[in-house]
Chains A and B, each alone.
Chain A
Amino acid sequence: MNSQNKTIIITAVVTAVLVLVGFFVLMPFLGPRFMHPMMERMHGGGSSVSASDLNTDTTRMTNNGAFIVSFKSQLDPIRIGSMHSWILHVETADGQPVEGATILVGGGMPDHGHGLPTSPQVTQDMGGGDYLVEGLRFQMGGWWEVKFNISADGVEDNVTFNIILGG
């Protein structure tokens, strides 16, 4: 009786191990119909962008270190297809707010080779280094760049923000 029980337990354990091993090893190769959590990660959710490689900070130093620039979207989180505004904040490298700057807006999708679908503009110098950027709309998911060319007190510099949008 004792040995019979033992055999049953061993059989059960071996079966369980086989099933588990089979599940974890074979499922990724059985196709997406039986999607495995591991494979899901491998698929990266269908995005073509290696999001992890991009700096998506919303505060960045301009290319030549003249300004520290940050943005805050008035649509948060940013959704595709919605016209919205940003507040851009510009400081000198040592933290002094920059007022009276001339700021140009550009950008696009580097992976797709096209620009922004709208012509966003800085419409208001709000004081204290804050600027209202109106007319932003992203019409598809993926990796977007929004670039600002900033000129103040005879200094010109550029900054690029990376944005990853789903959908």
Chain B
Amino acid sequence: MKKKVLLAGVLLMLSAGILLGCANQTSPWSEAEEDLMRTLWLESLPALPPDPTNQYADDPRAVAFGAELFSDTRFSSNNEVSCATCHIASKDFQDGLQLAQGVGTTDRRTMPIAGTAYSPWLFWDGRKDSQWAQALGPLENPVEHGGTRTFYVKLIQAHYKTEYEALFGALPDFSDVSRFPVPAAPIEDEVAAANWAGMSEEDRETVTLVYVNMGKAIAAFERTIMPRTSRFDLYVEAVLADDISAARDIFTADEEAGLKLFLNEANCTRCHNGPLLTDNDFHNTGVPAVADLPEDTGRARGAQQVLADEFNCLSVYSDAAPEDCKELRFMLVESEELERAFKTPSLRDVANRAPFMHAGQFWTLDEVLMHYNKAPDAPKGHSELEVLNLSESQLQKIIVFLKTLTTMER
């Protein structure tokens, strides 16, 4: 009798053990969730596609030249500002400020650079459609670098003639001050605009071509700035390999729960999708306007600007054929949805990138998540957000998850 009870007990315990073992190894993820996670995984990022607008994009000499230009403060009106002033390498190529500080203060937050080679649109409003066209914007912006193109091409002549000529061929002589006055550029500044108008068309084209080549070199360097592996990527790798116990060594229960919310109830992947966690598109999410800043219509204006941009994909300075310019040719230009729509930023390294939104409106991820949870009306246009009604504890789990998107130490 004793033997029987013992045997039955052993059997029961064995069964329970098997059951628990099975349960522990069962993935918390459905097939659809795993498919979705795979699309967000950095390993799913395709090889960098060629940039048809920039024939120098993958030339290592352009990369090296561009890297030098990127951090050369001589390329500014006060000798103190370079691209690297706002795009600080140790801070994911941004500056941690609400509004970018060049020679003056801009109306928007500095954007990070990693992975922008994959984006058809640059800037918060997408007013540029290539990395090189983007790089040229701040150079002639009066509150960023504050210079003009004649000033810059003379600096190239003085300091980078060898590097320039090795890549782009003979550098024209810009030393004749009467033919090449400084400042001169087709910008709002009256003196610069008048000087520019006074130049011959041929000289203007000569200057602009060298200026464009500067941008193409800077873009070649920026193309090499890529996102790197985060703990999230390791977790996805383990999940896709069906190694749940390894996955759970990588993520805590809260991080896993946060990811679950991120993929489902919180609707995050509507816009933050793909391996860069951005759809590279524009959305009005009802982000509050900043009282002291001029009205910002976001993509509504950006779409008009890129269409008229002297450096867009269809311009004479672009190396692309018209059939390579589909993003521009089939761009949405007239739509109420573009009003106060801003570009979806990548969420990779987001936890290191306060303050958030296009003018640094929120200092903490708590504020950001609270905004998405409440989905307030947009100051102008229509917010795409829907009220989420998540609990405080759920919001905290999403934040904990977002921190797993931080690049791991090398």
> Using a CB–CB distance below 8 Å, which chain A residues touch chain B?
4, 7-8, 11-12, 15-16, 18-19, 22-23, 27, 30, 32-35, 40, 43-47, 80-81, 83, 112-121, 134-135, 137, 139-142, 166-167
List the A side residues contacting B28 at CB < 8 Å.
Answer: 32-35
- A15, B273: Cβ atoms under 8 Å? no
Q: Which of B12, B30, B330 has the most C-beta atoms of chain A within 10 angstroms of its own C-beta?
A: B330
- Beta-carbon contact of B280 and A19 below 8 Å: no
Q: Give Cα distance in the complex from A167 to B270, angstroms.
A: 8
Q: Say which residue of B18, B29, B120, B279 sits within 8 Å of A35 (CB atoms).
A: B29
Cα distance A34–B25 when bound, in Å? 9
Complex Cα distance, B11 from A18, in Å, reads 12
Residues of B near any A CB (own CB < 8 A): 3-4, 7-8, 11-12, 15-16, 18-19, 22-23, 26-33, 35-36, 39, 120, 253, 260, 263-264, 269-271, 273-274, 279-282, 326-327, 329-333, 335, 337, 384
Other A-B pairs, 8, CB within 8 Å; known A81-B273, A81-B274: A34-B26, A35-B30, A80-B274, A81-B279, A139-B271, A140-B279, A141-B273, A167-B39
The interface centre, meaning the residue of A11, A33, A116 with most chain B CB atoms within 10 A of its CB, is A33
CB neighbours of B330 from chain A (8 A): 83, 118-121, 134-135, 137
Q: Which residue of B lies closest to A12 (CB)?
A: B11
**A81-B279, A167-B39 given as contacts; is B31 within 8 A of A19 (CB)?**
no
Query: Which A residues lie within 8 Å of B331 (CB)?
Result: 118-119
Residues of B within 8 A of A46 (CB): 30, 32-33, 36, 263-264
User: Which residue of the partner chain, among A45, A112, A135, contacts B31 with CB atoms under 8 Å?
Assistant: A45
Contacting residues, chain A, for B271 (C-beta < 8 A):
139-140
Q: A35-B29, A46-B33, A117-B332 are in contact. Are A142 and B270 (CB under 8 A)?
A: yes
Q: How far is the CA of A40 from the CA of B263 in the complex (A)?
A: 15
A114 to B120, CA, bound (A): 20
Distance between A80 CB and nearest chain B CB, rounded to angstroms:
6
Which of A15, A35, A83, A167 contacts B26 (CB under 8 A)?
A: A35
- Interface residue from B23, B32, B326 paired with A45 (Cβ < 8 Å): B32
Selected from A22, A43, A113, A140, the residue in CB contact (under 8 A) with B269 is A140
Provide the residues of chain B in CB contact with A80, threshold 8 Å.
39, 273-274, 279
A120 to B329 CA separation, bound complex (whole angstroms): 9
Question: Are B15 and A116 in contact, with the CB atoms below 8 A?
Answer: no
B contact residues around A27 at 8 Å (CB): 23
Provide the bound-state CA to CA distance between A34 and B270, in Å: 26
A11-B279 in contact given A35-B28, A45-B31, A45-B33 (Cβ < 8 Å): no
Which single residue of chain A is at the shortest CB-CB distance from B337? A114
Q: Contacts A46-B263, A112-B270 known; A11 to B19 CB distance under 8 Å?
A: no
Residues of B contacting A4 with CB < 8 Å? 3-4
A43–B31 CA distance with the chains assembled, in angstroms: 11
- Across the interface, which residues of B come within 8 angstroms of A81, CB to CB? 273-274, 279-280
In whole Å, how far is A165's beta carbon from the nearest beta carbon of chain B? 10
Residue of B nearest to A31 (CB): B28
Q: List 5 A-B residue pairs with CB atoms under 8 Å apart, sorted by A's residue number.
A: A45-B31, A112-B270, A140-B270, A167-B269, A167-B273
Chain B nearest CB: distance from A82 CB in Å?
10
Closest to A10 in B: B8
Most buried by B among A27, A80, A117, A134: A117
A19-B19 in contact (CB<8A): yes
Contact in complex: A22, B19 (CB < 8 Å): yes
